[in-house]
Amino acid sequence: MTVQLLGLTFEKLQNWLVQDLHQKPFRAKQLFTWLHFRRVTSFDQMTNLSLSFRNSLKSNTEITTAENAEEFESKDGTKKYLLQFHGGPAESVLIPDPPRFTACLSTQYGCRMGCKFCMTGKAGFHGNMSTAEIVAQLYTMASNSENRISNVVLMGMGEPMDNWDAVADALEIISDSRGICIGQRKITVSTVGVPGGIRKLIDMEKQYGLAVSLHSAIQKTRELIVPSAKAMSLHQLKKDMLEYTGTTGRRVTIEYCLIKGVNDSTDEASALAEYAKGIPCKINLLIYNPVPGLNWSGPSEEVINRFTNFLYPRCQAVTLRRSRGGQVAGACGQLGISVLNKERDPEKPDPDK
Ligand code: SF4
């Protein structure tokens, strides 16, 4: 079987080189540097490796790259990348907010959580991305950007906790100081709350950030927006968040997408304020982005103001985030259009073009 080199953590790479290719352990540092620091895509560029070692790598491994990377730029500078991997099409987004440049990565082809407001949820589940494919998204954007990518969020297509093993290795690789070296505190894992998922992040004993897509603090409303929430009560989710904040000493980000007539009432705001009480957190309010085929819409400015003004004095930190990348369907909940269309009709042009 061909080994996907980009998907091996330093430790796994070293073990594999020693055990399978009978190389000295120091070769791992050299190879890891070429792959993740210099980010070359050809073995011929690895000039400090012997020809026989390079030939051996050529015949046993490959360096995952995205084929036919297409780039769409929004007026606000946000770029969406449509990338082709062996597993299928994937979408990634680069959000400029100098000095911060944030890469939003996908972790699955589609998603099985089925969130009602989300195009990816609508696209259904078409498979997990490999560690190498998750990492390769970041490297494709890094090679296309003049600016150093400072932050990474796993908020693209897919539920990261539903593909945990691949995601955990990707986190380790992209935060490795021998590679692209994105600081652990600059990486955020987003989840809707999968039973046992937050526990796995805690067990890594690292400083990765956690964002929880809550969208309602009333169980019934939440299940309407996030059907997979039936498997996890709000009570359990709060317990897990508290365990995360207690163990890591970090605040959790609570994501709340305001949808007109669904979760934007004062009762909903009150339930959210009550729920957040005691959780060291920041509440991130987003406005629902219209997506084709879904008849929900964002609330009026008046309702948005009423909701935020209710929360401000009652919560530790509340931010209202205007979504970026709307014109290229790279905003929250809008990824996955390509999967949907390409699955149904491979010849159909990208509607975002
Ligand atoms: S919001 Fe996230 S978890 Fe929900 S369907 Fe979309 S990609 Fe999946």
Predicted confidence at residue 169, as pLDDT, reads 98
Predicted confidence at residue 76, as pLDDT, reads 87
Asked whether the predicted pLDDT for residue 329 surpasses 70, the reply is: no
- Among residues 243, 332, 343, 347, which one is catalytic? 332
**Helices (H), ranges, the chain:** 10-19, 26-32, 51-60, 119-123, 131-144, 164-174, 197-203, 219-225, 234-248, 266-276, 301-311, 337-344
| Mutation test residue for ligand 1: of 91, 113, 255, the one with most atoms within 8 Å of CB | 113
Residue 313 lies in a domain: yes
Same domain, 137 and 252: yes
For residue 291, name the pLDDT band (cuts at 50, 70, 90). confident
Residue 146 lies in a domain: yes
| Residue 24 burial (C-beta neighbours within 10 Å; 0-12, 13-18, 19+) | exposed
Task: Return mean pLDDT, the chain.
Answer: 91
Same domain, 240 and 266: yes
Asked whether the predicted pLDDT for residue 136 surpasses 90, the reply is: yes
Which of 5-14, 112-121, 161-170, 242-251 is least confident? 112-121
| Mutation test residue for ligand 1: of 105, 108, 111, 335, the one with most atoms within 8 Å of CB | 111
Residue 182 lies in a domain: yes
Residue 351 lies in a domain: no
121: domain CATH number is 3.20.20.70
Residue type, 279: I
Same domain, 38 and 173: no
Better pLDDT: 235 or 324? 235
Residue 43 CA to ligand 1 center (angstroms) comes to: 37
Asked if 332 is an active-site residue, the reply is: yes
Same domain, 44 and 192: no
Give yes or no for a contact between 244 and 274, defined as CB atoms under 8 angstroms apart: no
Average pLDDT on 85-107 reads 94
Same domain, 137 and 232: yes
Same domain, 27 and 97: no
CB-defined site of ligand 1, < 6 Å: 111, 113-115, 118, 120-121, 157-159, 192, 213
Residue 154 lies in a domain: yes
Predicted confidence at residue 328, as pLDDT, reads 56
Predicted confidence at residue 119, as pLDDT, reads 83
pLDDT in tens, 60-70: 999 999 987 88
Predicted confidence at residue 152, as pLDDT, reads 97
Predicted confidence at residue 330, as pLDDT, reads 53
Domain boundary, last residue among 44, 62, 80? 62
What is the number of domains present in the chain? 2
Same domain, 104 and 164: yes
15: domain CATH number is 1.10.150.530
Better pLDDT: 334 or 201? 201
Predicted confidence at residue 317, as pLDDT, reads 95
For residue 122, name the pLDDT band (cuts at 50, 70, 90). confident
Give yes or no for a contact between 225 and 262, defined as CB atoms under 8 angstroms apart: yes
- Cα angle 136-69-42, degrees, rounded to a multiple of 5: 55
Residue 335 lies in a domain: yes
Residue 349 lies in a domain: no
Residue 224 lies in a domain: yes
Asked if 91 is an active-site residue, the reply is: yes
Percentage of the chain with pLDDT > 70? 91
Same domain, 33 and 146: no
Predicted confidence at residue 335, as pLDDT, reads 62
Where do we find the tokens 């930190």?
Answer: 317
154's tokens: 């796993």
pTM of this structure: 0.91
Asked whether the predicted pLDDT for residue 87 surpasses 90, the reply is: no
Using the atom order of ligand 1, give the atom closest to the CA of residue 213: 1
> Can you give the residue range of the structural domain that contains 76?
67-344
Using the atom order of ligand 1, give the atom closest to the CA of residue 114: 5
Average pLDDT on 309-316 reads 93
Domain boundary, last residue among 30, 62, 94? 62
Same domain, 207 and 221: yes
pLDDT in tens, 200-254: 999 999 999 999 999 999 999 999 999 999 999 999 999 999 999 999 999 999 9
Average pLDDT on 292-298 reads 83
Q: Using CA atoms, how far apart are residues 331 and 291, in angstroms rounded to an integer?
A: 10
Domain boundary, last residue among 20, 45, 62? 62
Same domain, 271 and 126: yes
Where do we find the tokens 């080189």?
Answer: 17
Same domain, 31 and 175: no
353's tokens: 């073009």
Asked whether the predicted pLDDT for residue 281 surpasses 70, the reply is: yes
- DSSP labels, 245-276: HHHH--PEEEEEEE-TTTS-SHHHHHHHHHHH
Same domain, 288 and 263: yes
